[in-house]
Structure 1
Amino acid sequence: MGARANRHRGEIEAVLDGERRVLCLTLGALAELETAFAVDSLTGLAERFSSGRLKAGDLIRIIGAGLRGGGNLFSDDDVAAMAVADGLSGFARIAAALLQATFGPGAEARPENPPGPHPG
């Protein structure tokens, strides 16, 4: 049986490619995201995430950093090739849960162009 997530440490569990994994945005993972998103502070990072204007590539980076912070050895390319239940919505839910575990309520990940019917 694998490791269990500890919410007090900001960890979450998610099923990626059929395997239950622990994800955590450690200090190192957050530094990685600061660089990836070209922000100069944790506040800037939190503001970017709370804007709700995240792209698919952003979700890959967030989930990839969370996987690595949780002790999993996956590159962002590996994450991009993974499957999760409910596709894009599933990835967005995982990223949102990870951001909420790290930054608290209000930090959400929503894809910029969610799938579904558009008013026309």
Structure 2
Amino acid sequence: MTNPWRGDVALVINGERQIMRLTLGALASLEAELEVGSLVDLVERFESTAFSVADVLALLQAGLQGGGCALTPDELANADIAGGPMGAARAAAELLARAFVVPDPA
């Protein structure tokens, strides 16, 4: 079960539901891998839709790592993701948003 207060986002990969979460360690790895000045720069990429497929994969990989999933980057790159590229991008954007926004209690 996902917990939005913890920043959880669910994504079905290869037919299995995975829970992703951006922990501090995952965020630090993400910053280093994407060579962004700050996470604000990455958020701005997604808000302006100037993100790349590599950004999406890196975000998903960081979230999977934070959620305890052991998929390798190569396995993720070749995985069947529910919703295809748009589903992956949507989940990555939601993951990033949940890392910095308190969910609506409604």
| Alignment TM-score, normalising by the size of structure 2 | 0.84
- The equivalent of 2:34 in structure 1 is 37
CA RMSD of aligned residues (A): 1.8
Matched, 1:101 2:84: no
Q: Select the structure with the greater relative contact order (CA < 8 A; seq sep ≥ 6).
A: 2
2:43 and 2:52 mapped to 1: Cα distance?
Answer: 16
Contact 1:25 1:69 in 2 (8 A): yes
2:92 and 2:76 mapped to 1: Cα distance?
Answer: 12
**What is the percentage of aligned positions where both structures have the same residue?**
42
- Specify every segment of 5 or more residues in structure 2 that has no aligned partner in the other structure, as ranges: none
Corresponding residue pairs, total: 102
Greater C-alpha radius of gyration: 1
> Per-residue deviation at 1:61?
0.6
- The equivalent of 2:75 in structure 1 is 78
Structure 1 moving runs of 4+ over 6 Å: none
More helix by share: 2
1:48 and 1:92 mapped to 2: Cα distance?
Answer: 12
> Per-residue deviation at 1:77?
1.2
Deviations 1:29-77 (A, max 9, x none): 1001110121233333333333321111111111011000001112211
Distance 1:45 1:55, change over 3 A: closer
- The equivalent of 2:65 in structure 1 is 68
- Specify every segment of 5 or more residues in structure 1 that has no aligned partner in the other structure, as ranges: 106-120
Contact 2:2 2:8 in 1 (8 A): yes
Counterpart mapping for 1:9-48 below 5 A: 9-48=6-45
SS at match of 1:83: coil
